[in-house]
Chain A
Amino acid sequence: MSKDLEPTDGHGDELEPTEPIQDPGLPAHQWRPQDVDAAQEKRTERQISAMFGIATLLAVGFCVAYFAIGDEQTFLGWSAINFALGATLGGALLLIGVGIIQWAKKLMADHEMVEMRHPAASSAEDREETLDIINAGLEESGVGRRPLIRNSLLGAVGALALPGVVLLRDLGPLPHSQDKTVWKKGMRVVNDVSGLPIKPSDLEVGQLVNGEPAVFFPAEGKEEAEYHGHELLAAKAKAAVIVVRMRPEDITPSKGRENWGVDGILCYSKICTHVGCPISLWEQQTHHLLCPCHQSTFDLADNGKVIFGPAHRPLPQLPLMVDSEGYLVAQSDFPEIVAPSYPELARDQKKLDEKS
């Protein structure tokens, strides 16, 4: 500690405290070339206005490119229009930004300023006045004096939450009681998209058909199908099937399923029992059906058994037979509930088993 900083006599508290280090003040202002040289100033001014000028041209260029360049034209393998629009608009924005920065940095006044700190709180009078206003408002509105109005208002605002809760209903029907699809006894299995009915002789070993129930296509002599729009999509989401043909000796039907196929032709739900993705990745040699979403794998030669992945329920099988005209038809609706599992599934399946 240097001698200068010690109190001059024994009664230091009577004296003004001295700063340990003197405030050095601001350094002398240094000028920019533009401040001292008129030629430099002129040059910078021209530079900045040129940037704004080019930005204007680019904006006009954007409009020209928008109309002049066709969708199909390419530039270096990219879409020419995307490239031109991006380059012109991006360039214009960039030049405007750079120009503004240059203007502020080089030409606008840059002298240093000092502003001392001051307390952040409002003055005592201001605070008192504000509190008076609030209290007067509470008193005049009578919020405290009229509890009936106050409480009924709170009730009404609270009740506004109910419509929001009820709207959740639109997320879909609850999963229970979803045990029926549009399949029924005698309904033909047809090729998806074309609606062609299928004869067993049309199918070769190793063949896969993405099928639908015939009811989704116009019946003979009719213009339109029974199902439309949203109803069709909802029904399709449950009724889509895949039909595959394997060598009969490769198939090991479980008890009660021996007559569910026709000469090695079997029909399964196309909807994964895990979370309901449509599955048709069928390996004809291994007879494995894979779900692309989470890699659940079902063995179609072994009653749709899960052999890999997160699904924990075999793929529901649709019993097939042949109708009087020789086309493949369903023996009944799916005996098992199709689509993803849900908490009440076991209970619903039990009910379904009792009904049949």
Chain B
Amino acid sequence: MRFSVRKLSTRRRHPLAGIVVLLIGLVVVGGAYATLSPKPAVAEEASSRDVEAGRQLFLIGCASCHGENAQGIPTKSGGNYGPSLVGVGAAAVDFQVGTGRMPMAQAAPQAPRKTPEYTAEETKQLAAYVASLAPGPAIPESEYLDYKNVSVNDLREGGEFFRTNCTACHNSVGAGGALPDGRYAPTLEKVSAKHIYEAMQTGPQQMPVFNDALITPEDKRNVIAYIKRVQDQPNYGGLAGGGLGPVVDGLFTWVIGIGVLTGFAIWIGAHGARVKKKR
């Protein structure tokens, strides 16, 4: 069949002609968009297979609250069942899913930390999918998570940042604290450096955002180093920051300390015998 404009023209009334034209138009526009539109910087690492796998996971586990396209589901009163995830970035997903906060077990004032539902691989795929929606904070570089090799000066500065920005809610040694209406600032004990970094960067739940423009990645690393250092200190009991007070020490003193004293007192008292014998 020889191709000619005239021949094509004669078929313009064909019942399928409209559909064919529509398909050609869609392919052209889609192809042009894919080649010309700016790619979000964070999406580079993630392969398209990850994004697709993430989308499948998302539709099964997340879409019921966050909407099929992660656009969020608003309620009539102006709140939402789940907020929009467009632009929250891979860091937010890695934090929320990686610490088990998402998926939430039930509607509650705050999503608690729990055993993660998704494997590391699945978390990565979900993060890749959400990151592909719009640019947002990426998962931090490992060089800013290496808190073990900071200098004393960095540690000191990290402490200053921590006391200025974090202690109000998280307590001076990161033990956490209460907020109104059943909410709370969680403890930072045994939270990985990556998750602490991501929380600062994305501001999960009620936590404010501390982005990289004002608390730089180096500052964040120093803050993490300080938290880890403070929490690694040997616990001398009683007066440790964030503790309940000298409860264990008190119990030890009452049971062992006073017990020993009582034992000696009984021993002294028990040997007061007199004898009938005369000198």
Contacts and interface: CB of A to CB of B under 8 A. Distances in A.
A36 B213 CA distance: 90
A207 B208 contact: yes
A290 B274 contact: no
B206 A284 contact: yes
B208 A244 contact: yes
B77 to A, nearest CB: 14
A77 B272 CA distance: 41
Interface string A26-63: 00001111011100000000000000000000000000
Contact of A82 (B165, B168, B236, B274): B236
A75 to B, nearest CB: 10
Interface stretch (A155-163, A275-283, A336-344): A275-283
Given A78-B236, A102-B268, A31 B279 contact: yes
Interface stretch (A120-128, A172-180, A190-198, A346-354): A190-198
Given A36-B275, A207-B203, A281-B168, A94 B261 contact: yes
A105 B237 CA distance: 39
A274 B41 CA distance: 47
Interface string B259-279: 011001000100111111111
A202 B234 contact: no
A284 to B, nearest CB: 5
B209 A204 contact: yes
Interface string B84-95: 000000000000
A244 B209 CA distance: 9
Contact of A290 (B164, B180, B278): B180
B39 to A, nearest CB: 21
B214 interface: yes
Main secondary structure of the interface of A (DSSP, over half): mixed
A326 interface: no
Contacts of A305: none
Contacts of B179: 281, 283, 290
Contact of B165 (A33, A205, A206, A210): A210
Interface residues of A, number: 53
Contacts of B257: 90
A106 interface: yes
B99 interface: no
Nearest to B268: A101
A78 B237 contact: yes
Contact of A297 (B169, B180, B264): B180
Interface string A281-296: 1111110101010010
Given A98-B268, A193-B160, 18 more contacts: A30-B276, A31-B274, A31-B275, A31-B279, A37-B275, A78-B236, A79-B236, A94-B260, A102-B268, A105-B271, A105-B272, A194-B161, A202-B211, A210-B165, A281-B179, A284-B208, A290-B180, A292-B168
19 contacts: A30-B274, A30-B275, A32-B275, A82-B236, A94-B260, A191-B214, A192-B164, A193-B160, A193-B164, A194-B215, A204-B211, A205-B209, A207-B203, A207-B209, A209-B214, A279-B168, A281-B169, A285-B206, A297-B180
The 8 closest A-B pairs by CB, nearest first: A208-B208, A202-B213, A30-B274, A283-B206, A207-B209, A280-B168, A79-B236, A206-B209
